């Protein structure tokens, strides 16, 4: 079990690094296990939320099934000080890389996420 969990965490860290390095996204925290939470980039909570929702749907059309999560704005103010928090919560994206095979699929997952982000312009 520990070996499988380690592979899942490595997959999450690799995907986190790709997301964190891409200017189209904003990260919140580095994953501790296999769960990643991030959002589209934007100057306001409203724009971030709307673009995150577009990416969510564009990814689903490409068979990458993410989840959305409404993160309270109050918890993000110190992490994203440049954002205008014009709503009480920000819609973020979430992915659980809980299968050991995800370590082998990270590049494919990233390719789909990259295409989904391109399909959902700011």
The Cα–Cα gap between 38 and 24 comes to 11
Measure the CA–CA gap between 38 and 25, rounded to whole angstroms. 7
Query: What's the rounded Cα separation, in Å, for the pair 37 and 92?
Result: 7
Per-residue confidence of the chain (122 residues) as pLDDT tens digits? 455 567 777 888 999 999 999 999 999 999 988 889 999 999 999 999 999 999 999 999 999 999 999 999 999 999 999 999 999 999 999 998 766 666 667 889 999 999 999 999 87
* Structure token digits, residue 71: 């993160």
User: Cα–Cα distance between 97 and 48 in angstroms, integer?
Assistant: 23
E strand intervals along the chain: 25-27, 35-40, 67-72, 89-96
Query: How high is the pLDDT of residue 50?
Result: 97
Buried b / exposed e over 8-35, threshold 16 CB at 10 Å, is: bbbbbbbbbebbeebebbbbbeebeebb
Using DSSP, state whether 43 is helix, strand or coil.
coil
**Rounded distance, CA 64 to CA 112, Å?**
7
How do residues 17-27 score in pLDDT, each as one tens digit? 999 999 999 99
């Amino acid at each position: 079990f520990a070996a499988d969990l380690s592979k899942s965490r490595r997959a999450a860290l690799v995907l986190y690094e790709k997301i964190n390095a891409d200017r189209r996204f904003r990260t919140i925290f580095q994953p501790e296990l296999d769960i990643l939470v991030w959002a589209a980039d934007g100057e306001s909570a409203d724009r971030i939320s709307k673009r995150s929702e577009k990416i969510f749907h564009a990814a689903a059309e490409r068979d990458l099934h993410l989840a959305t999560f409404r993160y309270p704005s109050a918890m993000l103010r110190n992490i994203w000080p440049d954002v205008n928090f014009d709503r009480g919560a920000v819609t973020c994206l979430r992915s659980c890389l809980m299968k050991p095979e995800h370590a082998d699929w990270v590049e494919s997952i990233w390719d789909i996420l990259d295409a989904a982000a391109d399909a959902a312009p700011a």
